[in-house]
Amino acid sequence: MDAFTGFISWLFASWQLIGGAIGLWFLYQYITQRGNTTDIPPLDKFDAIKLEGLVSKQVEAALLPMLRSNGYGEEEIKSILTKTSLNQQTFKR
C-alpha cells in the first residue's frame, strides 16, 4: 500500500504542477492582451450611410437567389428586400 499511496500523491502533485503552469499561462495571456485593445471611434454620419449601403447590397446579393429558388415572384422579393424584420420599417434605399 505504501507504493500505491506514493504513486497517488505523485499523481496529484503532478496535476497541481500542470494546473499551475496552465493558470500562469492564462494569466500571462490576460495581462498581455489588456494593452492590445483599441478604441474604435464612432462612425460619422457619412460612414454610417456608406456602411448601411454596403450591408444592404450584401444582404440583397445573398437573399435574391435564395428567394428566386423558393419560387417568390418579383413583387414579393421587392417587398421582402425593402422591409426589415423589426416593426416592418423600410430601408433607406
pLDDT in tens, 59-82: 788 888 888 888 888 888 877 777
Q: What is the pTM of this model?
A: 0.38
Q: What is the pLDDT of residues 15-65, one digit of tens each?
A: 888 988 999 999 988 888 766 666 667 777 777 778 877 887 887 888 888
Q: Which residue carries 505523485 as its cell? A: 10
Q: How many helices (H) and strands (E) does the chain have?
A: 3, 0
